[in-house]
Amino acid sequence: MPVLSLILVLIIIAVILFMCMNIVPQENEYVVERLGKFHACWKAGLHFKVPFIDRVARRVLMKEQVADFAPQPVITKDNVTMQIDSVVYFKITDARLYAYGVENPIMAMENLTATTLRNIIGDMELDATLTSREAINSQMLQTIDLATDPWGIKVTRVELKNIQPPAAIRESMEKQMKAEREKRAAILTAEGEKQSMILQAEGRKESAVLNAEAEKQATILAAEAQKEKEIREAEGRAEAIRQVQQATADGIRALKEAGADEAVLKMKGYEAFTAAANGQATKIIVPTDIASILGVVEAVKEGTK
């Protein structure tokens, strides 16, 4: 019987120890209270609590978390009501403040996000709201992060997930965007046509310059060819005259060397005169001594008979 009692006592002690043993997972912290008062924050690892005195009041996840809040109606400065939903990235830095700083910290942060968003958008017009997401995100981050410090929460990033203007505004915006696209397309088309005309004009100008250069070169070559032709023709005529004069001079020199008298020389001159008369001349001037020359010729003929 004493042995059974001892075994039973040991079993009870083991069960109590097992119930008092707590293993805290990685990236978690347990807030422990002792007799209803904060006692300690257990980090990852094995911990034991005093039975019936200590209790785990809250289990806190220390990893970065994402809170996706529902769309909130906001009114812009120019009285346009929009639906905007936001996403908040946060991390718990102090488990004790998170447990005792505010009741339901996530709901408190959601309400703070909504009021901050309304305050920022209320000072902006519709167009500025649609084009200033980065500025809005930055302002919300600074405001919310500062407000959540006493709750042990560090806000790392705030993003506007979606902005939904009213249907009429969206329709007018789509029409405006379509008109802007058509305008840009027309401008680009006009610019393309202008560039094409400029290139064509430059091409025609270049072609005209090249044609003028070609014509100039052709004219210069033709003139040089004509000049060369005339030079060669003149040289040919000069050579022919020189050869004729040389032949005449040679003939006269041969007659003189043969002892021909004046009558023979005059006869040769007559032959030259006759050759000249065979041309296209219509008038022939006869020398005054042509009769005496003819008489000599007749005498020669009679003597030879």
Where are the chain's structural domains? 18-61, 65-165, 260-305
Average model confidence (pLDDT) across the chain? 81
If one counts every other C-beta atom within 10 angstroms of the C-beta of residue 163, the result is: 17
pLDDT in tens, 257-305: 665 555 555 555 555 555 544 545 455 555 555 555 545 445 444 544 4
**Per-residue pLDDT at 64:** 93
Model-level pTM? 0.55
DSSP annotation of 282 reads S
Average pLDDT over residues 74-91: 89
Q: Which residue has the higher pLDDT, 244 or 41?
A: 41
pLDDT in tens, 188-210: 889 888 988 998 888 888 888 88
* H helix runs in the chain, sequence order: 2-20, 95-100, 105-122, 126-131, 133-148, 167-258, 262-277, 290-304
Q: Cβ(32)–Cβ(40) under 8 Å?
A: yes
DSSP annotation of 279 reads S
Q: Among the ranges 15-19, 223-227, 300-304, which has the highest mean pLDDT value? A: 223-227
**Per-residue pLDDT at 303:** 46
Spell out a b/e string for 201-227, using b for 16 or more CB atoms within 10 Å of the CB, else e: eeeeeeeeeeeeeeeeeeeeeeeeeee
Query: What does the block give as tokens for 293?
Result: 């020359």
Q: Does domain 65-165 have CATH number 3.30.479.30?
A: yes
Q: Cβ(164)–Cβ(71) under 8 Å?
A: yes
Does position 222 have pLDDT exceeding 70, yes or no?
A: yes
What are all long-range contacts of 242-251, with beta carbons under 8 Å and residues at least 24 apart? 248/272
